[in-house]
Amino acid sequence: MPPLVTTTANLSFLDGYLYRVMVDLLKSEGASAGLYAFYQDRIENEGRALSLYDRAIFDYVLSNFDLGGRQIVHAGTGLGTLALALATAGYRVTGIEQDDQRFRTAIRVQRAVKDAWPAVAERYTLIAGEFPTVLDGTALLGPDTVLIFTNCGATWPDELTTRVIASFASCGDVILDTRLFGVVRNSPDERRRLVDRIAAQGLAAVPIATSPPDSFYQHVKKRLG
């Protein structure tokens, strides 16, 4: 059985395993597999499954949050590459995905990884639906939760953005990219307005220094004092 993914070498092993799974999906099903353009580009031109932000956020979470005491909720998990990396590192992870095609493929990728890392079955759960509504009545948004958003560039209605930001107060920590959060925010002014909306909830957003190029990840937590 492969070891827990807690080192660069182990993460590279997982990346290679996921890459082979995604290549097989692309060959057998093409676009119907839910491997949209950015996934296909990563496979065909970069030869890897994990994105730069997958790796950066994986390292940040592993460095800052206790394996035993924290649970991860990844909203908009896509095919689940980051969620799987965190689960194979030992975290309890729940992935939320509302796109039916991506959700079905995420289930298939999850099953393939369970073949190599059986313990992942106990730590990684996928839920279909829209965040945060799909988690109403659950214990998944609490002080031990690290809530993560990556590559959420779909056009959300402003009402949904408001509800998502309101959910932050229930969590211990939130990680998000202010450029790709509900809508694409390419200008500094747009990203600053988002941070101001978050701050209005009594939360502080601190830039993550290791964000990859063209990413603007922030660590959101309750403001002290």
> pLDDT by residue (tens digit) across 28-69?
877 677 677 778 888 888 899 999 999 999 999 999 999 989
Per-residue pLDDT, averaged over 141-154, amounts to 92
Any domain includes 167: yes
Any domain includes 142: yes
C-alpha span between 219 and 149 (Å, rounded): 11
Q: What are the backbone dihedrals phi and psi of residue 76, each rounded to the nearest 5 degrees, phi first?
A: 75, 55
Residue 175 belongs to what domain range?
Answer: 52-222
Any domain includes 176: yes
Report the SS3 class of residue 174. Answer: strand
For residue 205, what are its two tokens? 């957003």
* Average confidence score pLDDT of the chain: 91
pLDDT(167) > 90: yes
Report the SS3 class of residue 175. Answer: strand
Provide CB contacts within 8 A for 138, sequence distance 6+: none
C-alpha span between 211 and 208 (Å, rounded): 6
- Answering whether pTM is above 0.85, one says yes
Any domain includes 19: no
pLDDT digits (tens, 9 = 90+) for 71-115: 999 999 999 999 999 999 999 999 999 999 889 999 999 999 988
pLDDT digits (tens, 9 = 90+) for 7-31: 667 888 899 999 999 899 888 877 6
Q: How many domains does the chain have?
A: 1
Q: What percent of the chain has pLDDT over 90?
A: 71
Any domain includes 68: yes
Looking at residue 121, which CATH number applies to its domain?
3.40.50.150
Any domain includes 43: no
Instruction: Give the closest residue to 123 by CA, choosing from 83, 77, 175, 82.
Output: 83
Any domain includes 32: no
C-alpha span between 14 and 50 (Å, rounded): 9
**Per-residue confidence band for 225, with pLDDT thresholds at 50, 70 and 90:** low
CB of 106 closer than 8 Å to CB of 126: yes
Any domain includes 6: no
C-alpha span between 11 and 167 (Å, rounded): 31
> Tell me, what's the pLDDT at 25?
86
Angle at alpha carbon of residue 106, lines to 104 and 109, rounded to 5°: 115
Q: What are the backbone dihedrals phi and psi of residue 138, each rounded to the nearest 5 degrees, phi first?
A: -105, 175
